[in-house]
Structure 1
Amino acid sequence: MAPYILWMPKNSVKKRKEVIVLLKTLQGRKLLISLIVVTMIMGSFGGIFAFADSSTATKITIFHTNDVHGRIEGSSSEIGYAKIAGYINAFRAENPNVLVLDAGDTFHGLSIATLQRGESVVKAMNALQYDALVPGNHDFNYGYQRLLELEELSNFPIISANVKTETNESLLTDYIIKEVDGVTIGIFGLSTPETVVKTNPKNVEGLTFEDPSLIAATMVSQLKDRGVDVIIALGHLGIDSESVDTSYKVIDEVEGIDVFIDGHSHTAFENGKVIKNTLLASTGEYSKNLGVVEITVQDGKIVEKTAALLNRETFNEIEADEELQNLIGKISEEQQKVLSEVIGETKVRLDGERELSRKQETNLGNLTGDIFLHWTNADVALVNGGGIRASIEAGKITKGDIVTVFPFGNVLFVKKVSGAALKEALEHGTKSYPDLAGGFPHVAGMTYAIDLARPVGDRVVDITVKGEALDLNKQYILATNDFLAAGGDGYTMIKDGEFVQEMMTMDEAIVQYIQEVKVIEPQVEGRIVVKPAPVEETAPDEDVNPVEPKPVEKANITYIVQPGDWLSKIAIKYNTTWQKLQTVNSIKNADLIFPGQVILIPAQ
C-alpha cells in the first residue's frame, strides 16, 4: 500500500490574549477554564511545554496513548477520551503544533468496544482527532478483514510496515508524512510478530509479520530519501523480557529513529528513556496516563526532545469535551439494546454469589472452566472465584448478563505448566479455606480434594487430570485468564509458565459458546471435595477410686454434603431440624447447598 501523505497548513502561534477572547466568544466558559488549567499544568512541567519563538525554532507537541483496551469512558483511575479531548483542545487553541498518536491495542477490550467490534472506539477517536494508529495484537481480534473495515470508518490512517499479505504486499499503510508549521515528520508503524500467537491464529491467517528491525531500517532509509526533518516509529512491540522483537532491539539495531512511541508491554516511562539517540516513550495502560512528547526543531534539525506523562489526577479540574462526552454516552445507551439480546437459555440458576464462588465448587465456575477448555483444547482450566461477580437466574440469558458476571474484559490465556506448578497453584488458591478468597480455584479437566487434617500448603490431595492421577513431572496445557497468567491473586507459579496462546475475551468466549449450544444446564459434579479433619476422642483416665460417672458430652459432627442431599434430608438423618442446621451453619438459602460443602451437626 502506498504511503499516506497529509500536508498540514502552516500555523503561527497565536497570542494568549487573542485566544482567550476567541474562546469566550465561540466556546464558552468551560473551555476557557480548561485552558487556564492547562496553562497551569504546562507551567508546572517547566521547559517541556514552553511555547516556541517562531522566529528561531519550532516546537511540536505529540500527545500519545497505548493499550487503552476499550477504556474510552473515564473512571476514578482512567482518564477517558472526553477529558483527554478537553485537554488537547484547550492546548491546541494556544499552540496548534500538535499531533495525536496511538500505539495499539485500542479497538478491543471492554464491552463498549467489543459489542460493536471496534466501531464505537473508532467513532470516539475520530472525534478526538487522532492522526495515526499502529495496530496491536488485540486489534486483530475481530480478524484482519474487520481491521481493514475499521480503517475505512476512521478519519486517521492505520499504519504498519511489517504486516504483509500472501502476495508480500503491505496490508496497511507503511508510513505517513505530516507537515507541522514547516517541519516534515515521517511516522511509520511496527506491529508485534507475537500477534500470530497473541490473537486467535485464524484472525491473521495468510499474514506474515516481518522482522521489525529489518523493516524499520528500510523505513528510515525511505523517509530520509523523502527529506523529512523528524522520524517517529509508532510501534506495538514493548520491552517484555520474554519477547524477541522489542522496541529496545529495534532502537539498538536501527539508527535514525528520533522518537519511538511504544505499546504492548504496558510500560510507563515517566520521562521517557533515551537509548543511543532515540527517545522511547510509553504511557502504561488503560488511559491511566496521557503521554506528551515535545520536539524542538531549528534549521531542520532536532535541538531538543523531551517526554512526560500526565496522570489521572492531573485531569481532575479539566472539563471533558462535551461533544465527545455526549457521543460516548450515546454509544453506551445504544449498546443497552445489544446487551438485552438473548443469546441462549439456562435450565438452572447459575450460582456466582460471592459467598459461594470464593469458597466452593459452583455450577457457574464449572461452566466457565468447561468453556475455557472448549475454545483452547487445553488439558485443564483454572478460574479464580473472584472473577465471577454475579449469578444468573434460570431462564433466558442476555449478553448483558454475561458482561455483568465477567465485567473486567479479561482475555483467555493458554500456558504450559508442570504438574508440580498445578499442585502449587491449588495449594495457594485454597490456603484460606474455609474463609472466602478471590483466588479460590474453580477447575475443569481436573478434580481435587482439600484435606483439612493436613497442614496448609500440603492439604490438596487426590488431584486428577482427565481421570488420571496428576504427574508432578509432566507438562500440562492450562487455560486461564490473563489476570492469573500474569501472576494475579498471587499465582506466580502460573506466571512462570511457558506462554502458548492468547485468545478472545472471557465474555466473548462465553457468549459465543452459549449461542452455539443454545441451552445449558451445568451442575456441581464433585470436582472439588472437602475432607474434614477427624474428631479426636480422648481415652478416660484410670482411677483407683472410681467415682460416679458423669454424663458423656457428645461432640458435634461434621457432615460432607453428597450429591442428592438437601437440608431436610440431612436433618432427618441426624434427628434434628433443617431450621437448626440453617442457623448453626449460617446458611442464607436453605434450598441451596452443594456437594462437598461442610455441614456442622450440633450435638444432641
Structure 2
Amino acid sequence: MTIKHILKLCLLLLIFSCASSEISKIEGKRIVINDSLETNQAIDDFIKPYRLHLNKDMDSIISYAPETYSKSDGQLNTAIGNLMADAVYSEGNSIFNKRTQKNIDFVLLNHGGIRSIISKGNITTRTAFQVMPFENSIVVATLKGTQVNLMMEYLSKAKRAHPLSHQVQLILDKDSAISSATINGEPIDVDKTYYVATNDYLYDGGDGMTFFQPNEGLYVLDYKIRNILIDNFKKRDTINPKKDERFIKLED
C-alpha cells in the first residue's frame, strides 16, 4: 500500500469517527431582568461615588422658570420653541461670528425635537437633558433666497410650531397661504445668500426638510443643542419666553 492510499484511509477513518461521535449542544437560557435580581453590593459600592457626583451635577440649579412651558401651548409658535431657537441663535452666532466674521441670519429647528416640558420652578442641568435628550448638534447652511422661500412654503403647509428665531416673521392668511415672509424685517431676496442655523438631523433631510441641500456651503459648529440650552440658562436667573408674532395665521 502506498503512502497516498494510507493517507486516504486515515482521512476516511477520521470522517467516520467524527460522524459517529456525539454532537455537542449549545443551549441558551433566558434571564429576566426585574426587581427579583439581587444587587451586587461590591459593584454598587464601587459606582456609588460616581453616581452621587453625576446626580449632583445634573441636579444643580442653573435658572428658574416662572411658568410651565410646553410645546403644545401654541399652534404655530410656542414659548418653549421660541426660547430654544433664540438660544441657538444667541449662543451659536457668537461662535459662528468668531470663526467666520459673519452672522447667522436665523434659526430653524423642529417641533418634534422638543422632548419635555420645562416645569415651573428651578431649572437644572437635568432639565436641559430632558428637553433635548438627543445628541443633535448645530450646523449653519449657506442657502440662496430661493431655498429660503421653499422653507417658508414648507412651514406654511406643515402648520406646526417648528421653532424659528425672532429674526423671522411668517404670516399666513386665513387660507394658510403665505401673506408675508420676512427676515430681519426685509422680504426674502432670491439673489441674497442666507446663513441658516439648524440641527444636523434636519440638515440631512429629517422631517422632510429637503431644502437644506444642495447649498452654497456648510459650517459645523460642533455644539450640541443641549449644551446650548445649559449655557443659555446659566446666563440668567429667570427665563421669560413668550409666544409672539414670528409665525402666525390671520383669522380675517
Q: Give the TM-score normalised by the residue count of structure 1.
A: 0.31
Q: Which amino acid aligns with 2:88?
A: F
| Cα distance in 1 between the residues matched to 2:219 and 2:155 | 23
**1:472 to 1:318, Cα distance in 2 relative to 1, 3 A:** farther
C-alpha distance in 2 between matches for 1:399 and 1:371: 15
Q: What is the aligned counterpart of 2:89 among 373, 378, 381?
A: 373
Give 1:375 deviation, angstroms.
2.0
Structure 1 residue identity aligned to 2:195: I
SS of the residue corresponding to residue 88 of structure 2 reads helix
- Provide closer, same or farther for how the CA distance between residues 332 and 416 of structure 1 changes in structure 2, counting only shifts above 3 A: farther
Equivalent position of 1:515 in the other structure: 234
Counterpart of 1:466 in structure 2 is 184
Q: CA 1:469/1:515 → structure 2, altered by over 3 Å: closer, same or farther?
A: same
Instruction: In structure 1, give the amino acid aligned to 2:181.
Output: I
Q: Which amino acid aligns with 1:401?
A: T
Residues 241-287 of structure 1, C-alpha deviation per residue, up to 9 Å, x if partnerless? xxxxxxxxxxxxxxxxxxxxxxxxxxxxxxxxxxxxxxxxxxxxxxx
How far is 1:432 from its partner? 3.8
Give the 3-state SS of the residue equivalent to 1:517 in structure 2: coil
Equivalent residue for 2:168? 446
Code of the residue aligned with 1:426 in structure 2: it is: M
- In the TM superposition, residue 409 of structure 1 has moved relative to its aligned partner by 1.9
Give 1:504's aligned residue.
223
Q: Which residue of 2 aligns with 1:481?
A: 199
Decide whether aligned partners of structure 1 residues 448 and 332 sit closer, same or farther in structure 2, where only a CA change above 3 A counts.
farther
Counterparts of 1:412 and 1:37, CA distance in 2: 48
2:73–2:79 contact (8 Å) kept in structure 1:
no
Q: Report the counterpart of residue 80 of structure 2 in structure 1.
A: 364
> Secondary structure of the residue that 2:164 maps to in structure 1?
strand
C-alpha deviation, 1:442, in angstroms:
1.8
**Does the 8 Å CA contact 2:139/2:220 hold for their aligned counterparts?**
yes
Deviation at 1:334, TM superposition (A): 4.9
Q: Verify the 8 A CA contact 1:484 1:495 in the aligned structure 2.
A: no
Is 1:431 aligned to 2:157, yes or no?
yes
Instruction: Output aligned runs, 1:188-337, within 5 Å.
Output: 334-337=53-56
Shift in Å, 1:338: 2.0
Partners of 2:212 and 2:164 in 1: how far apart? 14
> What's the counterpart of residue 398 of structure 1?
124
- What is the identity, as a one-letter code, of the residue corresponding to 1:366? N
Q: 1:317 to 1:361 in 2, by over 3 A?
A: same
C-alpha separation between the residues in 1 aligned to 2:68 and 2:109?
Answer: 19
AA matched with 1:478: V
Alignment of 1:17-36 (within 5 A): 36=26
Q: Which amino acid is 1:451 matched to?
A: D
Unaligned runs of 5+ in 1: 1-35, 39-315, 535-604
Query: Do 2:152 and 2:181's aligned partners in 1 also have CA atoms closer than 8 Å?
Result: no
**Number of positions where the alignment pairs a residue of Structure 1 with one of Structure 2:** 206
Q: Deviations over 1:145-172 (max 9, x none)?
A: xxxxxxxxxxxxxxxxxxxxxxxxxxxx
Give the AA of the match of 2:91. Answer: W
| Cα distance between partner residues in 1 of 2:250 and 2:27 | 62
Partner Cα distance (2:226, 2:205) in 1: 21
Structure 1 residue ranges (4+ consecutive) displaced by more than 3 angstroms after TM superposition: 316-320, 326-334
Shift of 1:37: 7.2
What are structure 2's unaligned runs of at least 5 residues?
1-25, 34-38, 94-103
- How far apart are the structure 2 equivalents of 1:487 and 1:515? 32
Equivalent position of 1:119 in the other structure: none
Instruction: Determine which structure has the larger helix proportion and give its number.
Output: 2
1:363 is displaced (CA, Å) by 1.2
Superposed CA deviations along residues 519-549 of structure 1, whole A, max 9, x for unmatched, are 22121221111023x6xxxxxxxxxxxxxxx
Preserved CA contact (<8 Å) 1:348 1:522: no
Root mean square deviation of aligned Cα: 3.0
In the TM superposition, residue 477 of structure 1 has moved relative to its aligned partner by 0.7
Instruction: Give identity over the alignment, percent.
Output: 24
SS of aligned partner of 1:522: coil
Contact 1:420–1:472 (8 Å) recurs in 2 = yes
Q: 2: CA distance between counterparts of 1:520 and 1:432? A: 29
User: Could you tell me how far 1:461 is from its partner in structure 2?
Assistant: 3.2
Instruction: Provide Cα deviations, 1:269-309, integer angstroms capped at 9, x if missing partner.
Output: xxxxxxxxxxxxxxxxxxxxxxxxxxxxxxxxxxxxxxxxx
SS of 1:429 mapped into structure 2: helix
CA distance in 2, matches of 1:527, 1:402: 24
The AA in structure 1 aligned to 2:85 is G
CA shift, 1:426, in A, is: 2.8
Question: Partner residue of 2:111?
Answer: 385
1:89-124 CA-to-partner distances (Å, cap 9, x unmatched) read xxxxxxxxxxxxxxxxxxxxxxxxxxxxxxxxxxxx
Shift of the 420–318 alpha-carbon distance from structure 1 to 2, 3 Å rule, reads: farther
8 Å CA contact 1:346–1:395 kept in 2: the answer is: yes
Tell me the distance in 2 between the aligned counterparts of 1:469 and 1:37.
Answer: 69
Change in CA separation of 1:333 and 1:379 when aligned onto 2, cut-off 3 Å? same
Following the alignment from structure 1 to structure 2, what is the Cα–Cα distance between the partners of residues 449 and 496? Answer: 27
Q: Give the C-alpha shift of residue 492 in structure 1.
A: 1.0
Match of 2:68 among 346, 349, 368: 349
**Residue 343 and residue 452 in structure 1: after superposition, are their counterparts in 2 closer, same or farther (change >3 A)?**
same
Name the CA shift for 1:431/1:333 in 2 (closer, same or farther; >3 Å). Answer: farther
